[in-house]
Chain A
Amino acid sequence: MCLAFPARVLTLQDAAMATVDIGGVRKEISLGLLEGVKAGDYVMVHVGYALSRIDEEEARKTLALFAEMERRFGEDGGA
């Protein structure tokens, strides 16, 4: 029920609606719950609304943590 999908904003129709790309599928969604969304941004889409922005910097930090874990616990070497 609370499933949401990462989507890339393609074009803004007006302040309230946008066309997004969700894994290759185009959809019209509402931007009514977010401010200042631009084309090219990634947002989480839930029941037709952008619920939050995806923060690229935070995503990079999480993935860097994962990479570190793989260095330590990965198949070739580590603990």
Chain B
Amino acid sequence: MKHVDEYRNGRLARAMARAIAAEARPGRVYRLMEFCGGHTHGIHRYGIPGLLPDNVRMIHGPGCPVCVLPMGRIDAAIELANRPEVILCTYADMLRVPGSRRTSLMQARALGADVRMLYSTLDALKIARENPGREVVFFAIGFETTTPPTAMAVKEAQRLGLGNFTVFCNHVLTPPAMRGILAQPGVMIDGFVGPGHVSAVIGRDAYEFAAREYAKPLVISGFEPLDLMHAIRLLIRQLNEGRAEVENEYARVVSDRGNPIALDLMDEVFEQRPSFEWRGLGMIPHSALRLRDEFAAFDAEQRFALAAGPVPDNKACECADILRGLKQPQDCKVFATACTPDNPLGACMVSSEGACAAWYTYGRHRKRRRA
């Protein structure tokens, strides 16, 4: 497949591994956070930790929207799905995620709730048109990648005058979450691998704050193994040279200013919430979106008076420290015993993009390293 296979060459990956080994200085440790869950998954799937010297350590960030969604909001979605008039639509990733009572949307569906899996937000509008007597709610989650398609659906619903379509909005924002992590006490992160597709929307320039205000280098990377290794090498080089800059390894997809149509659309339909809870990280200011007042008619939180209260996570769960780079999944007492992908207790085990799930699936055979 063009634009994929070229970036998966094993011989080149070994050459890059040698290049990285030649550049990483033995006297120091490089703690690099890949923010995006897609990167976490790719790093483990392609065995990249095994190609890196011991002193180059990948820390898995909170960029998995399924993982960081508070359980109270999953409970609210299940509650909505259980109303007889509601058809709840969402992406496949959300169906298996357990809420606080350990039930998921999939189980709700098995018990009779009308839950439908979406490929595109436009399908939700089609369902709304075909079912004028029902309330179609789109359970929207994701970072800046999935937000423009949600905004598009809202605008289209307005244009069509659809009165039975609403959005339960759980969209979250990448730069404020990075700030939230950098502002936490005790963080040990030397640089970031910046997300690829989020950056296609928000653009390279959106990360200048990391370099300017926090003196952290950031390299935007694609999702293929050679992209990731190249980005890691560029980060090591910046750290060796004492630079903190935003670099773009994924220039074939990411521009400096991002996608202007997508950004305008997001801005027209959504506004920032003053604060939003992240599972594992707590409240982070200005880190999530809600519908603007002009679009209140399409806001499920208003139409159904939803109240998603905070629900505490399992006490044994170490996700908060794992996401800050202080601990690794194997440091958690219940990792791979009480907590597994089939029975997740904490946020990082919920989706295949979470740090604990990636370790469970691809990394358990590897030697234990200290964070």
Is the C-beta of B157 less than 8 angstroms from some C-beta in chain A?
no
Q: Is the CB–CB distance between A51 and B200 below 8 Å?
A: yes
Tally of contact residues, A, Cβ under 8 A: 40
Q: Mark A1-36, 1 if CB is under 8 A from B, else 0.
A: 111101010000000000000011000011011110
- A24 CA to B15 CA, complexed, in Å: 31
Q: Is the CB–CB distance between A52 and B254 below 8 Å?
A: yes
- A59 CA to B195 CA, complexed, in Å: 17
Q: Mark A56-73, 1 if CB is under 8 A from B, else 0.
A: 101101110110011011
- A75 CA to B197 CA, complexed, in Å: 32
- A2 CA to B221 CA, complexed, in Å: 13
Shortest CB-to-CB span from A10 to chain B, Å, is 14
Please name all residues of chain A whose beta carbon is closer than 8 Å to the beta carbon of B61 when the two chains form the complex.
none
Q: Is the CB–CB distance between A8 and B2 below 8 Å?
A: yes
Q: Is the CB–CB distance between B230 and A55 below 8 Å?
A: no
- Residues of chain B from 183 to 225 with CB closer than 8 A to chain A in the complex: 195-198, 200-201, 223
- Name the residue of chain B whose CB is nearest to the CB of A59: B252
Partner of B253, one of A48, A55, A74, A75: A55
- A30 CA to B339 CA, complexed, in Å: 39
Given contacts A54-B253, A73-B22, contact A48 B15 (CB under 8 A): no
Shortest CB-to-CB span from B291 to chain A, Å, is 19
Please name all residues of chain A whose beta carbon is closer than 8 Å to the beta carbon of B143 when the two chains form the complex.
1-2
Shortest CB-to-CB span from B93 to chain A, Å, is 6
Given contacts A2-B37, A23-B1, contact A58 B251 (CB under 8 A): yes
Partner of B12, one of A32, A55, A66: A66
Is the C-beta of B51 less than 8 angstroms from some C-beta in chain A?
no
Q: Is the CB–CB distance between B3 and A6 below 8 Å?
A: yes
Q: Is the CB–CB distance between B253 and A2 below 8 Å?
A: no
The main secondary structure of chain A at its interface with chain B is mixed
7 closest A-B pairs (Cβ-Cβ)?
Answer: A48-B120, A6-B3, A59-B252, A58-B251, A52-B200, A58-B252, A73-B15
Q: Is the CB–CB distance between A2 and B142 below 8 Å?
A: yes
Q: Which of B3, B198, B261 has the most CB of A within 10 A?
A: B3
- Residues of chain B from 114 to 145 with CB closer than 8 A to chain A in the complex: 118-123, 141-143, 145
Shortest CB-to-CB span from B192 to chain A, Å, is 15
Q: Is the CB–CB distance between A52 and B253 below 8 Å?
A: yes
Please name all residues of chain B whose beta carbon is closer than 8 Å to the beta carbon of A75 when the two chains form the complex.
11, 14-15
Is the C-beta of B36 less than 8 angstroms from some C-beta in chain A?
yes
- A66 CA to B66 CA, complexed, in Å: 34
Given contacts A1-B66, A2-B37, contact A35 B261 (CB under 8 A): yes
- A56 CA to B51 CA, complexed, in Å: 29
Number of A-B contacts (CB under 8 A): 147
Partner of A54, one of B3, B12, B22, B66: B3
Please name all residues of chain B whose beta carbon is closer than 8 Å to the beta carbon of A39 when the two chains form the complex.
none
- A34 CA to B259 CA, complexed, in Å: 8
Which A residues are within 8 Å of any B CB, using their own CB? 1-4, 6, 8, 23-24, 29-30, 32-35, 42, 44, 46-49, 51-52, 54-56, 58-59, 61-63, 65-66, 69-70, 72-75, 78-79
Is the C-beta of B322 less than 8 angstroms from some C-beta in chain A?
no
Please name all residues of chain B whose beta carbon is closer than 8 Å to the beta carbon of A79 when the two chains form the complex.
18, 22
Q: Is the CB–CB distance between A49 and B149 below 8 Å?
A: yes
Q: Is the CB–CB distance between A47 and B120 below 8 Å?
A: yes
Please name all residues of chain A whose beta carbon is closer than 8 Å to the beta carbon of B65 when the two chains form the complex.
1-2
Q: Is the CB–CB distance between B252 and A55 below 8 Å?
A: yes
Partner of B259, one of A6, A33, A56: A33
Q: Is the CB–CB distance between B197 and A4 below 8 Å?
A: yes
- A59 CA to B5 CA, complexed, in Å: 12
- A35 CA to B143 CA, complexed, in Å: 22
Please name all residues of chain B whose beta carbon is closer than 8 Å to the beta carbon of A66 when the two chains form the complex.
9, 12, 16, 226, 230
Shortest CB-to-CB span from B255 to chain A, Å, is 8
Q: Is the CB–CB distance between B146 and A3 below 8 Å?
A: no
Q: Is the CB–CB distance between A1 and B91 below 8 Å?
A: yes
- Name the residue of chain A whose CB is nearest to the CB of B262: A33
Q: Which of B12, B14, B16 has the most CB of A within 10 A?
A: B12
Q: Is the CB–CB distance between A48 and B122 below 8 Å?
A: yes
Partner of A69, one of B15, B148, B195: B15
